[in-house]
Chains A and B, each alone.
Chain A
Amino acid sequence: MATVYDAIVVGGGHNGLTCAAYLAKAGRKVLVLERRHILGGATVSEESHPGFTFSSCSYVVSLLRPQIIRDLDLPRHGLEILPLDWTYSPFEDGSALLRGPDAETNRRNIARFSPRDADRYPLFGQAMSELGRLVKPLIEAPTPEPSRLRPSTLLELLRLGRRFKGLGEPGIAAILKMMTMSAVDFLGEWFESERLIGPMSVSGIIGTFLGPRSPGTAYVLLHHYMGEIDGSFRAWGLQKGGTGGVAMAIARSAQAFGAEIRTGCPVARILIGKGEARGVVLENGDEIRAKVVISGADPHRTFLGMVGEEWLDADFTRQIKRFKLRGSSGKVNLALDSLPEVPGLGSDSPVLKGDITISPSVDYLERAYDDAKYGRYSRQPCLDCVIPSLTDPSVAPPGKHVMSIFVQYAPYKLKEGAADWENQREAFGDTVIDTLERFLPGVRDRILFRQVLTPWDLEQTYGLTEGNIFHGELSLEQLAFLRPAPGWARYRTPIRKLWLCGSGAHPGGGIMAAPGQLCASSMLQSRAL
């Protein structure tokens, strides 16, 4: 038994690394153990085809907390977020809606479908930003746990309550609506044109196993506008060299603070004695001890996999088992020989530098969901595409491009069983390309290489249980003090000296890094370390 670490972080994803960096910054001796040969978890860049670097999984940075960027000095360690200014949404009849950085152009473009919506559009943005401002303190601090009525909790709740009350009746109504309504109904209160509601409702369903008409999806819409709360400090866009660059910047910062990081070190289980975590056992049988163990893995993998039910009480186990992961999306990454033409705009159009959303109508999206409900991938899926090589030529050979396509719906549990994805993977890829080809003709002939990642692959390769990109759905019943289980939403777990720092903890997924940071600060504050 050689060195004893203060803390072992299981998993070198962006949250694990963030947690490690903060602990190392506070002078603790930290070891990060990553199963794969490469850091980042789902925040990863991989050269899956020679010369082409893909953001294999997560592809856009949006809510990375400014405080973390500052505390960890991330720009100096390689964080470079390039803008993603446009949203191009083509329709089946060949027309398209284009939204960009200029408000007047947006108004004109939307007015082609509805002059009223065109006027409402900036007001909607303003309203959402205001709601975002209310939610900001929630994502920047550990969640208050009403189930544990300590004086400190009461104070936190009181503060929130006061802020809530300050909104006035219309504000409170808006919040309640947003938390309970469906994306389509919520948008329908603002807009009349399907051409706006169709593409916009996509942000309500990303990563969830719900349809645009399912209650609760309005809340996820908000995430799209949350960037506004950070003003100039926000990081919204594409990381240079692919998303993995974010994780690498955090890793370099952690190392600069003295953290030790090992890749290719799969943890088999968490070593437990007398009900408390003592260290980890690697798959090769090595034991590494530490004063505390922090898991960046999702709650299922952590408790049901690395801890084991025998150490947990039945009630907690049941809650973790009920915690919904059910992945609903896949990824298709393409290497392109040249750029596809945008119908009516040619191949030089700046719109390709932005986000390309294939969700022409609410019905289209809801039908895509219908397929998923019955255990198959959407025959006509909703797609969210970006071509990062247009802004960052370093990710592809000259003149060639990488295209990242987020695909929904692709249910983890196929009718034939999750493992049947092995048989359906390429057919799924074909469906995605067929769909894309309808809206961006000519894309198929330009494909040099295709990588299809199904929810099964996201689980098998990247360790996301059931392929859930958020370590657990971002639905109301799984947020704040309920994430991942009531009573255990402040990064502690029923196993003493075992903490949770991944996206399965408050405030959830996306490249926010808040769970990692808040876990570290909670530990330091409570003198757990």
Chain B
Amino acid sequence: MPLESPFHPRIAPLCTSYAWKHWGGYLAVCHFGETHLSEYWAFREACALTDVTPLFKYEIKGKDAARFLSRMMSRSFEAIGVGRVAYTCWCDEDGKVIDDGTVSRLGEEHFFLTAAEPTLSWMSRLSRGFDVEIEDVSEGTAALSLQGPTSRSVLRQCSDADLDALKYFRTAYASVDGIDVRISRTGYTGDLGYELWCKAPDAVKLWDAVTSAGRAWGIEPAGIDALDMVRIEAGFIMLGVDYHSAPRVTIDARRSTPLELGLDWCVELDRDAFIGREALRAEAARGATWKLVGLEADWRELEDLYASYDLPPALSPAASRATLPVYSGDRFVGQVTSSVWSPLQKRYLALASVESAHAKLGNRLELEHTVLHERRRVSASVAPRPFFDPERRRKP
């Protein structure tokens, strides 16, 4: 039986579609109303509120907290200032990615980690010999993600946070309607947005405060379906979709390294040992075999393809997690793992893992596309990721 999130009393009556799914052991809404598209547009034009409580959440405290995390993660946390948030991944000894998430430094000796999968036992194993305490706060902490161009205005109205000082990837404590919350300027949408963390018993009150302040700013509750669309536009990978957690798959071919996933930028090879460093150094020296890239299908070819069946081009405006083969000429060179028709940009976008030789920007490949049961191909070119990257995302 899935758990109800602490926001459930507010979310359940709004979910008139009854479209629920399971996420991390919780009930999560796919879409609230008749279609997920109004939620998608709220993400992009106003703001959308998503319950992200199902994320796994851990507090890491103690004298060695920074040193411990630096040992576990692909990047160092020793020099990261209090109030900062960093995106990171963590690997096994072979340099294969186990999971990715964010780490917030809440104090000199106090960190907060989010993860897609349970990570407590991995951390406990690694923490032997370090002076750290690791606490699983997943169930006790409620989390809301408020994302979109008007999200800052909403928070300005309902919280006492100094939002001008809260820069991209920073976090700060604040009060919302008398509730203690932590606000971080992070998200999974590639836009201006915030994540709000509070104690589970305060969840309903937080929801009420944010939604009532949001009314003037076009706030909409949003489910996973719309979130999945915007995260592909933002070019973000998803565990279990675009890659798999190394210990959870059987064969090596299904495991990925950070370099293959395009996470090079958060891997610091020239520093003290961390789990997987040697393997990654070796890989860096010989070059990664695979590369995760953004692909954009050729619109004109798609239209022509459908026209050859006497059909209007029908691409579902829903994120797809189906894998599709990618070809170069007649050779199979990789696979699409997430794809979506972006109604905003009017582009058919995909995240794909391709052989490194084919990963250069602008490189033309072919993507399988099924029309009327028939598997056909359309050209697609390697496009810059993120596909969607508005200035306001990082702007102070």
Contacts and interface: CB of A to CB of B under 8 A. Distances in A.
Interface in B298-354: 299-300, 303, 306, 311-317, 341, 343-347
Interface stretch (B38-46, B78-86, B91-99): B38-46
Chain A at the B interface: mostly helix, strand, loop or mixed? helix
B33 A350 contact: yes
B370 interface: no
A83 to B, nearest CB: 6
A82 B45 contact: yes
Contact of A393 (B37, B217, B311, B316): B217
Given A85-B38, A101-B35, A232 B317 contact: yes
B35 A393 contact: no
A390 B218 contact: yes
Contact of B347 (A75, A81, A229): A75
A69 B346 contact: yes
B153 interface: yes
Contacts of B306: 231
B45 A240 contact: yes
A80 B46 CA distance: 13
A218 B300 CA distance: 33
Contacts of B153: 398
Contacts of B317: 232
Chain B at the A interface: mostly helix, strand, loop or mixed? loop
Contacts of B300: 70
B35 A391 contact: no
Given A66-B303, A75-B346, A233-B346, A85 B37 contact: yes
B299 A233 contact: yes
A393 B150 contact: yes
A228 interface: yes
A392 B46 contact: yes
B34 A391 contact: no
A105 B217 contact: no
A27 interface: no
A83 B41 contact: yes
B284 to A, nearest CB: 35
A264 to B, nearest CB: 30
A522 interface: no
A182 B44 CA distance: 41
A315 interface: no
B45 A393 contact: yes
Contacts of A232: 313-317, 341, 343
Nearest to B157: A398
B303 to A, nearest CB: 7
Contacts of B216: 393, 398-399
A398 B45 contact: no
B215 interface: yes
B34 A102 contact: yes
A66 B315 CA distance: 14
B173 to A, nearest CB: 26
Interface in B144-177: 149-150, 153
A435 B128 CA distance: 76
Interface of B: 33-35, 37-38, 41, 44-46, 149-150, 153, 215-218, 299-300, 303, 306, 311-317, 341, 343-347
